[in-house]
Amino acid sequence: MSSVSDKSQFDHLSEPPLDPHYALKELFHADNHPKKVILGSGVYRDDNSEPWILPTVQKVQPLAPAEAIVRENQDSSRYEYLPISGFAPFISTARQVLFGPLGDKDARVVSMHTVSGTGANSLGARFLAETLKPSAVWLSDPSWVNHENIWGLVGVNVEKYPYWDAATKKLNFEGMIGTLETVARPGDVVLLHACAHNPTGVDPSKEQWKRVADVCQQRGLFPFFDCAYQGFASGNLAEDAWAVRHFVERGLLEMAVAQSFSKNMGLYGERVGALHLLCGTATAAQKAKGHLSRLQRGQVSQPPTMGARLAATILADEELFQSWLGDLKEMSGRIRGMREALYGELVRLATPGEWGHVVSQIGMFSYTGLTPEQVAAIQDDSHVYILKSGRISVAGLNTNNVKYVTEAIDAAVRKHPF
Ligand SMILES: Cc1ncc(COP(=O)(O)O)c(C=O)c1O
């Protein structure tokens, strides 16, 4: 019988900290309290706290046994490998959603179908690290937790520009623009959230976006938009892509956009996304495509098919597209309604503090301004799970739990005053 070793070449590894979202989820699942609530993850839930399969998605892919779906669909090539750049009908329609109806015509844009928004961020980071060799990538402080991880993995120095002003609970725009103007170096990458900033829920105004574009142009900074919530923020695709389209219209900026259909189509696990790179010339775009393909080949070879087929079917069919616009209105509207309900309850209870930001913020998240002490009290006393940063996923609120959650917040704020 062979002996079993008590040593490993990996014994020296330290235990990396658990991602805060997953740590929170584990605690929540271990809790048996009947009224427990989790406001952690960035996933949409309906008014009964259930995942919501968009009615439009169900029209294309009805919930049925796998055999029935396969029999219905006679396309025998559906499980074949895609090209390295992905499913062409998906790329074409995704570009139109992002850049507008003519968005598919610009030969200076090269697009890759990616493993959702994370894959697009990651492929873009790898490509820019290799080609531009920036002295730093500038992330908003705070930003989506994975940004720092993704850029760290490709060996680029991560720096932060001011974003959230804890005192005013608003955007610290002067801090942001001042840092980009005076500290960031030409050739650096600036990561920008196209809309519905994660985690704060605070976006620049159109006038402020114009100033950011000016600074990128004047200082030679490379804008990289992360567009994970188009249509989910305002319910309007053009409105949520305004910043991206404005940067494109400038004509002189080269830029990248990571696009995700996880949230706006509710296709989280299908991993549907794209990376778009706008180059100064069509020739440069062709060369960039070769390098993006090389990187994609080494990471995933070819992207997955099913989700992209679903998305492309919806985006290309006028009736389904209109139906999807209705779904976007429903999701964004329910979230706005929950913001108002939360605010209304806080006012009714006369909870100490100023809470107007809860309704002025946009998208899935609200940076509440709750302190770590208050967050801990909310969890311990009321079994409501919120990230330590005080960020709540408003999508986790519904008409059944919003009163209970507000009472939990009220009690914690009185126990541990600001
Ligand atoms: C800002 C931001 N970017 C990207 C993503 C990536 O999402 P996915 O990989 O599911 O498309 C998320 C998801 O939460 C996000 O909030």
Domain at 34, CATH number: 3.90.1150.10
Calpha distance 353→413 (Å, rounded): 8
Do residue 384 and residue 254 come from a single domain? no
Closest CA to 393 of 68, 35, 39: 39
**144 catalytic per annotation:** yes
Do residue 28 and residue 177 come from a single domain? no
User: Six-digit token pair at 275?
Assistant: 């990376």
Cβ–ligand 1 distance for 143 under 6 Å, the answer no
| Structural domain ending residue among the three candidates 281, 316, 351 | 316
**Residue 283 alpha carbon to ligand 1 centre in Å:** 31
The whole domain housing 376 covers 20-52+331-413
In a domain, 343, yes or no: yes
In a domain, 60, yes or no: no
Do residue 184 and residue 260 come from a single domain? yes
Dihedral class, residue 271 (left if φ above 0, else alpha if ψ from -120 to 50, else beta): left
Cβ–ligand 1 distance for 198 under 6 Å, the answer yes
Do residue 312 and residue 335 come from a single domain? no
In a domain, 6, yes or no: no
CATH code for the domain in which residue 176 is found: 3.40.640.10
User: Which position among 144, 151, 324, 355 bears the catalytic label?
Assistant: 144
Say which residues have a Cβ less than 8 Å from residue 340's Cβ, sequence separation at least 6. 359
Instruction: Encode the chain (418 residues) as per-residue pLDDT tens digits.
Output: 568 888 878 788 888 777 788 889 889 999 999 999 999 888 899 998 888 888 888 887 655 444 454 445 556 677 788 999 999 999 999 999 999 987 778 899 999 999 999 999 999 999 999 999 999 999 999 999 999 999 999 999 999 999 999 999 999 999 999 999 999 999 999 999 999 999 999 999 999 999 999 999 999 999 999 999 999 999 999 999 999 999 999 988 999 999 999 999 999 999 999 999 999 999 999 999 999 999 999 999 999 998 998 999 999 999 999 999 999 999 999 999 999 999 999 999 999 999 999 999 999 999 999 999 999 999 999 999 999 999 999 999 999 999 999 999 999 999 999 9
Do residue 232 and residue 361 come from a single domain? no
**Residue 114 alpha carbon to ligand 1 centre in Å:** 12
Do residue 130 and residue 260 come from a single domain? yes
| Structural domain ending residue among the three candidates 316, 345, 368 | 316
User: Six-digit token pair at 318?
Assistant: 């006028």
In a domain, 301, yes or no: yes
Q: Which amino acid residue places its CA nearest to atom 2 of ligand 1?
A: 228
User: Which position among 151, 169, 203, 263 bears the catalytic label?
Assistant: 263
Contact 169/358 with Cβ under 8 angstroms? Answer: no
User: Six-digit token pair at 9?
Assistant: 């070449």
Structural domains counted in the chain: 2
**133 catalytic per annotation:** no
SS3 203: coil
Do residue 377 and residue 293 come from a single domain? no
Do residue 177 and residue 39 come from a single domain? no
Do residue 394 and residue 291 come from a single domain? no
Do residue 34 and residue 94 come from a single domain? no
Do residue 298 and residue 338 come from a single domain? no
The atom of ligand 1 lying closest to the CA of 115 is: 9
User: Six-digit token pair at 193?
Assistant: 């959230």
